[in-house]
Amino acid sequence: MSTHVKRAYRYRFYPTDAQAAELSRTFGCVRKVYNMALAARTEAWVTRQERVNYNRTSAMLTAWKKTEALSYLNEVSSVPLQQCLRHLQTAFTHFFGKRAKYPRFKSRKSAEYTTSAFRLRDGALTLAKMTEPLDIVWSRPLPEGMSPSTVTVSQDSAGRWFVSLLCEDPGVKPLPARGNAVGIDAGLEHLLILSTGEKIANPRHERRDRAALAREQRRLAKKEKGSANRARARLKVAKVHARIADRRRDTLHKLTTRLVRENQTIVIEDLTVRNMVKNRKLARAISDAAWREFRSMLEYKAQWYGREVIAVDRWFPSSRLCSACNTLQDTMPLHVRAWTCGCGMTHDRDVNAANTLLAAGLAVTVCGAGVRPQRSTPDRQSATKQKPSRREP
């Protein structure tokens, strides 16, 4: 049995007018089927306590195609329609397993094709219902000798088209073990502060484009709703947001890859970003820092390459605890950036926090002191309001 990691390779492509029209129809049909199936499952459970699974929704799809109102579902490939029903089944599995919120209605423009609905030969990818291959910009090669198991086509809010090929990557395997361990304190003045004393500058991607974003948003606000001019203005706003997100993602990928390659154990703080952004004065800066995305990247890369990520409890007083003598200070206002402990040790606030986090994380691995907090799940109380209970038979 293969133990290779499955990895998605994402490329941009430029469809012809005919291909764009076909994909747009497919996206619309996928969205329609997903939302109808979600509504049917919700209604069946709320009104009759009846469980509807994938097989039932698949039978519903067959019936829908035979009706006059939904006969247009026959015009697109059936594979993406079946795949969206499988994704809905997975979403319900995660919900009842208390790993996610209740499934929401689909709005994203995407469609997934399995091996029976696409052909990849000599660098040319052709999808079902199409006669010409997609014009893909192959920015990096696929793993040699590996064929994709699924192909996902999507269009983002900026109007850009992407194709994502999921295939096994034999190049992803555990790295040689190292003795290095590092503690990381996240910040705003500096994006990351390492226990080694290194401070990684915060690029502040959103601030760099704030003036351009504000300008395009002002123009958008002046356009008449429903007009073609408003649609073009909305696209310009989306392109600015996409540029910011692309730069942020690139920075985080480089940082997380470097940290995983250089260290065997990485200790971070279990931050509740969704609560922190409620602070209106800091919400924009916290969102731009993307701490949650940083943690997500760090965790899956650590799993790929045989490293360990330890999250220390968010209430751990890392800033107030002396890393030399473990004395806890009574208070530590935010404006205090350096302080001297009673033992005579002078600390940089952030570097000291990174060091105390590292010590706490290593204590967990050595003697099991405390419990490593898991990634917090969404508030399920709000998720289950007027929704089916998880106590499904």
Coil vs helix vs strand at 119: strand
Does the annotation count 122 as an active-site position?
no
Bridging pattern class, strands 190-194 and 181-186: antiparallel
Among 22, 112, 168, 185, the one annotated catalytic = 185
Catalytic residue, candidates 216, 269, 288, 299: 269
Task: Mark whether 350 is an active-site residue.
Answer: yes
**DSSP states of 4-43:** PEEEEEEEEE---HHHHHHHHHHHHHHHHHHHHHHHHHHH
Q: What residues contact residue 316 under an 8 Å CB cut-off, 6+ apart? A: 269, 356, 357, 360
- Alpha-carbon gap, residue 203 to 266, rounded angstroms: 22
Helix (H, G, I), strand (E, B) or coil at 101: coil
Active-site residue flag, 206: no
Residue whose token pair is 């096994």: 168
**CB–CB of 295/184 below 8 Å?**
no
Residue with tokens 């806890």: 328
Q: How far apart are CA 185 and CA 139, in angstroms?
A: 34
Q: Which residues are catalytic?
A: 185, 269, 350
